[in-house]
Amino acid sequence: MKFTLVGSGRMGQQVAGVINRSGIHEIASILDDRSVVTSESFQGSDAIIDFTVREAFLQNLPAMLHARVPVVVGTTGWDDEMGAVKRRVVESGSSLLYSANFSLGVNIFLRTVREAARLIAPFDQFDIAFAEHHHTGKADFPSGTALRAAEMILSVNPRKRTIVRELSDDRKIAADELQVAALRLGTVFGKHMACIDSETDEIVVSHNAKNREGFASGAVQTAKWLAARHTTSPGFYTMDDFLNEMLA
């Protein structure tokens, strides 16, 4: 496959490394913040992998969709535009797969967190919260992965109804609020942890990323899957769609 990479930051460089080491794929081009992006920028490519920032992704989206080349997006921080992006993808007849985190380990972790939250739901003595730790260069706060985990917890545990990103000085957290705590420190690739607590038990489900290789290789794997799916069923997809098919 031939890939166009949009973004030349840490993750873009990692993805380029995975492609170059594969022995079977190649990079058609790498577009950075100095590139003029048009639909012609993607001609000759089998897939696009985007790791940029919110503003760049939303600005480049029309050109990517117009090119009708399937797009894998790891850029986060645009959840408020999710509905509009989905509509544009469907209307364009193109394909886009979005994930806040392409690590297979993280996505297995997320499913484990969801199952743990479901299992404790009938038992009032168990409470749950979520925490994440990333390097100081990460822009979004909390991370997209943490917010995805929170959404999954809320979807299966009716005792939690809303997400609280910051605690107030003048009130206690309510029983139906799910705290999502974020720490920015040093050069940590990514740590995520679901904490379940009762008077008699503590359950911790955690994932620590050792490097960025897992994120990059996962993005390439899903791009291959999306390119095949695009030929028969274009549309908007997530990592769940990929995993559901792989685990079927």
Active-site residues: which are they?
A: 134, 138
| Residue 184 DSSP SS3 | strand
CA separation for the pair 191, 17 (Å, rounded): 23
Angle between helices 10-22 and 213-230 (to 10 degrees): 70
Helix residue ranges, H only, the chain = 10-22, 54-66, 82-92, 104-120, 144-156, 213-230, 239-247
Distance CA 177, CA 163 (A): 6
- Under DSSP, the state recorded for 19 is H
Dihedrals phi, psi of 100, to nearest 5 degrees: -70, -20
What whole-number distance in Å separates Cα of residue 31 and Cα of residue 21?
Answer: 20
